[in-house]
């Protein structure tokens, strides 16, 4: 059985606002719960016009309060932006409110441009260089409290809260292995090091109190529809967003899909997009199933984290519904 989950950036649509994006996220999470998704994760980004999930812990609480069984978490919290104690308290609070349903995925990227990163950290002073020590400090806050501690997370101490390490590099894979944590790789936008990272993680893994064996989740973009052509059309919204990010440093609002969009791209730009989104699955249910089966065979992933930046909410729901049905069918196949 390969569990399947959702990664959401709570996209803010052109012509819409953050309030609508939050309602859409909750609606998707409620559907995902019925469709069999295991987790619903939200990602921390800052200062980006089209991404609404900046206050990640707050949004996790909103989604968890409107659902009942699906796990809800961060994919992830960018720890250098925060004090480890504050994150332990926030997620200790979430776990206390929604016991057994909260995940904490942590990463070391800023989730923002340079100017916004400086604004985020100008008092805290966290950096990527302090990430290993910050992670260990954070993990210790969730350990059972010991007599004589002068600093403890309240709530947080003694809670069984799954902590994941996120990344897109060999560094993050090796660090997750050394700590014995589950590992999630951002192959949905950074595919180049996926296979080396999985090898490094699995070959260097040390069992821990968290898990006894390596557990790797991989990110996959899925744009599913009734036909291959419709799936390709839906994907153009993400392509537009990505090109804006590369040229301006901001995503802009999520835009409607554009017919014949690829005809406007130069061959080098198209090749760059194709490489970046190696793990983008677009098309009909049959096409989606064939490609997901291929990805699972290539990677041996323990779990799929599915993302889909789709402009029309009904089409977004339908895409995740198709993806869920495909994953259920794959898990039910003989052998």
53-99 tens-digit pLDDT: 999 999 999 999 999 999 999 999 999 999 999 999 999 999 999 99
pLDDT at 245: 84
> What's the fold here for domain 1-161?
TIM Barrel (3.20.20)
Query: What DSSP assignment string belongs to 306-333?
Result: EE---SSHHHHHHHHHHHHHHHHHHHHS
Q: Tell me how far CA of residue 132 lies from CA of 172, 179, 231, 293, in angstroms.
A: 10, 10, 40, 35
Both tokens of residue 61?
A: 């609480």
Sign of CA dihedral 43, 198, 161, 7: positive
CB burial string 307-335: b at 16+ within 10 A, e below: bbbbbebebbbbbbebbbbbbeebeeeee
**Quick one: pLDDT band at residue 112, thresholds 50, 70, 90?**
low
pLDDT confidence tier of residue 334, bands split at 50, 70 and 90 = low
pLDDT of residue 307: 97
pLDDT for the residue numbered 181 = 98
Rounded to 5°, the CA angle 32-35-39 comes to 45
- pLDDT at position 208 is 95
Q: What is the pLDDT of residue 109?
A: 80
Residue 331: pLDDT over 80: yes
- The predicted pLDDT at position 275 comes to 93
Token pair recorded at residue 30: 């409620």
Asked if the model's pLDDT at residue 248 lies above 90, the reply is: no
Q: Does 226 have pLDDT greater than 80?
A: yes
- Hey, what are 111's tokens? 């989730």
What is the structure's pLDDT at 114?
Answer: 74
Supply the pLDDT for residue 122: 61
Q: What is the mean pLDDT of residues 203-231?
A: 97
Determine the average pLDDT of the residues in 36-51: 93
Tell me the pLDDT tens digit for each residue of 257-287. 999 998 889 999 999 999 999 999 999 999 9
**Per-residue pLDDT tens digits for 126-171:** 566 789 999 999 999 999 988 777 889 999 999 989 999 999 999 9
How much is the pLDDT for 20? Answer: 97
What's the pLDDT at 145? 83
Residues of the chain with CATH 3.20.20.30: 1-161
């Amino acid at each position: 059985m390969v569990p399947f989950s959702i990664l959401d950036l709570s996209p803010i649509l052109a012509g819409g606002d953050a309030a609508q994006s939050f309602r859409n996220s909750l609606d998707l999470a409620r559907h995902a719960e019925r469709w069999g998704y295991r987790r619903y994760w939200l990602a921390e980004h800052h200062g980006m016009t089209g991404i609404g999930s900046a206050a990640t812990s707050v949004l996790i609480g909103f989604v968890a309060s409107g659902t009942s069984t699906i796990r809800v978490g961060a994919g992830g919290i960018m720890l250098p932006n925060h004090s480890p104690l504050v994150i332990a308290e926030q997620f200790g609070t979430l776990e206390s409110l929604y016991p057994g349903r909260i995940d904490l995925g942590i990463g070391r990227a800023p989730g923002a441009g340079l100017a916004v990163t400086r604004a985020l950290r100008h008092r805290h002073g966290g950096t990527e260089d302090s990430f290993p020590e910050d992670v260990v400090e954070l993990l210790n806050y969730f350990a059972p409290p010991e007599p004589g501690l002068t600093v403890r997370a309240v709530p947080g101490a003694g809670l069984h809260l799954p902590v994941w390490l996120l990344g897109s590099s060999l560094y993050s894979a090796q660090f997750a292995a050394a700590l014995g944590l589950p590992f999630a790789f951002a192959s949905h936008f950074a595919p180049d090091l996926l296979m080396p990272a999985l090898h490094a993680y699995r070959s260097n893994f040390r069992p821990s109190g968290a898990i006894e064996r390596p557990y790797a989740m991989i990110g996959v973009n899925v744009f599913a529809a009734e036909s291959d052509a419709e799936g390709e059309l839906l994907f153009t919204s993400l392509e537009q967003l990505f090109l804006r990010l590369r040229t301006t440093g901001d995503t802009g609002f999520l835009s409607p899909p554009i017919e014949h969009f690829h005809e406007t791209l130069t061959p080098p730009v198209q090749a760059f997009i194709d490489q970046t989104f190696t793990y983008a699955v677009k098309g009909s249910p049959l096409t989606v199933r064939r490609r997901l089966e291929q990805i699972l065979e290539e990677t041996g992933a323990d779990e799929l984290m599915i993302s889909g930046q789709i402009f029309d909410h009904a089409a977004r729901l339908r895409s995740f519904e198709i993806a869920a049905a495909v994953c259920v069918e794959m898990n039910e196949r003989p052998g």
